[in-house]
Amino acid sequence: APPAPASYEVVVLPGDGIGVEVTDAGVAVLRAVAEPLGLRFDLDFHQAGAGAYKETGVAIAETVTTAAGDADAILFGAMGLPDVRRDDGTEIAPQIDLRERFGLVAGVRPATLLPGIDPVLYAPKVDFVTVRESTEGLFAGRNDPPSGDPDVEHDRMTITRATSETLFEVSFSLAAARRRTGGPGRVTLFDKANVLKSQAFLRRIFDEVAERHPGIETERVYVDAGVMMMVREPERFDVVVMENMFGDIVSDLAAGITGGLGLAPSADIGRDHAVFQPCHGSAPDIAGRDLANPVGMILSVAMMLDWLGDRHDDARCLDAARRVRAAVDATLAAGTRTRDVGGTAGTTSFTEAVVAAL
């Protein structure tokens, strides 16, 4: 592991819409938790996203991407606005460029019940993480040319050994890290190995990587049976990993189980880089009105602290992550909530309450 630097360099890309407001919240919490622990963060803010594209014609400048590549971590608000598109109609989404550029193959999304938030389902405990492969799978051929036959169209499922090994290594590390804080240490593969060759290959690579991690339990479940279990007994899952398209669907199901887009954090993790951002988008309908729920972003900051702590073997970062989660829990448990989850607090007053709890 690279040793802990004197000061962690974080490239911060607030982006568009409520991305800016929730990033302010995340940064306030990061500063508040770091200082008493003697942890130093060097925050390097840059403009990127739809606003940047409108002003400069470039969604993310090469200098910004380079700075992001050199940083210890990347913190990302939200990017894209419905009325800002390229000439070909595509949306501005630099997060996809970063994923490809830095090989961020593992899209990590925790699903956790939080105090004071009504769960959609009755479940005694929901505390699992979905890991979605984010660069290939059924999305691999999205830029393939049309078939040429007006009556047939194809998409292909591509699974590669290199990407799958990284994906599974991230998943097993995550299960090991979660076990240190009371998790069961289990990785579940959702696949369709009974039908698709690419999925049978994925399962073989999973089994190989599993052999290198004898301390972690594993299970292999067909994705269709898996989603039923996820609804009926979510408490059985710890880390659940799968191909891109399955992950796209299952991670939204998981977010639905725990209730509320504004609450959900995420990380895009590769071998040497990681981007942390809330699951939600730029939400232009509520932007600039102090209505955004900052919990997803604040918990993304906690994920960043965990990742840095594991990577650099830095107990102060792990401690900071614990403190941030505890402060969010305490704030919600005391009944302070934003409007999207039934409360009356604004983005800033909620954030002040979390900082006070710290």
- At 128, which helix (H) or strand (E)? strand 127-133
C-beta separation of 227 from 184 below 8 A: no
- The region that residue 117 occupies, defined by phi over 0 for left and psi between -120 and 50 for alpha, beta otherwise, is beta
Residue nearest to Mg ion (CB): 281
**285 is an interface residue for ligand ATP by CB under 6 A:** yes
**294 is an interface residue for Mg ion by CB under 5 A:** no
Residue 280 Cβ, how far from Mg ion at the closest point, in Å?
A: 8
Part of the chain binding ligand ATP (CB under 6 A), chosen from 33-41, 138-146, 220-228, 285-293: 285-293
The binder of ligand ATP chosen from 129, 292, 308, 354 (CB under 6 A): 292
Closer Cβ to ligand ATP, 26 or 262, answer by number: 262
Pick one of ligand ATP, Mg ion, none as the site partner of residue 171 (Cβ within 5 to 8 A by kind).
Answer: none
Number of residues that bind Mg ion (CB under 5 A): 1
- Looking at the DSSP bridge assignments, the partners of residue 41 are 8
Angle at 83 between CA 82 and CA 85, to 5 degrees: 90
**262 is an interface residue for Mg ion by CB under 5 A:** no
Closer Cβ to Mg ion, 19 or 281, answer by number: 281
Residues 72-131 that bind ligand ATP (CB under 6 A): 80
Produce one character per residue of 190-222: b if its CB has 16 or more CB atoms within 10 Å, e if not: bbbbeeeebbebbbebbeebbeebeebebebbe
Q: Whose CA is closest to 133, among 206, 78, 197?
A: 206
The binder of ligand ATP chosen from 39, 170, 202, 286 (CB under 6 A): 286
The binder of Mg ion chosen from 262, 281, 296, 346 (CB under 5 A): 281
Pick one of ligand ATP, Mg ion, none as the site partner of residue 340 (Cβ within 5 to 8 A by kind).
Answer: ligand ATP
The interface mask with Mg ion, positions 188-227, x = CB under 5 A, is ----------------------------------------
Residue 281 Cβ, how far from Mg ion at the closest point, in Å?
A: 4
**293 is an interface residue for ligand ATP by CB under 6 A:** yes
User: 161-180 vs 197-211: helix axis angle to the nearest 10?
Assistant: 50
**281 is an interface residue for ligand ATP by CB under 6 A:** yes
Measured in residues, the chain has a length of 358
Part of the chain binding Mg ion (CB under 5 A), chosen from 200-208, 230-238, 239-247, 279-287: 279-287
Angstrom distance (rounded) from CA 68 to CA 127: 31
**167 is an interface residue for ligand ATP by CB under 6 A:** no
Part of the chain binding ligand ATP (CB under 6 A), chosen from 58-66, 105-113, 276-284, 310-318: 276-284
Angstrom distance (rounded) from CA 248 to CA 238: 18
Angstrom distance (rounded) from CA 189 to CA 168: 9
C-beta separation of 334 from 326 below 8 A: no
Produce one character per residue of 139-151: b if its CB has 16 or more CB atoms within 10 Å, e if not: bbeeeeeeeeeee
- At 28, which helix (H) or strand (E)? helix 18-37
**283 is an interface residue for ligand ATP by CB under 6 A:** yes
| Contacting residues toward ligand ATP, per CB under 6 A | 18, 80, 261-262, 280-283, 285-286, 292-293, 296, 340
| Contacting residues toward Mg ion, per CB under 5 A | 281
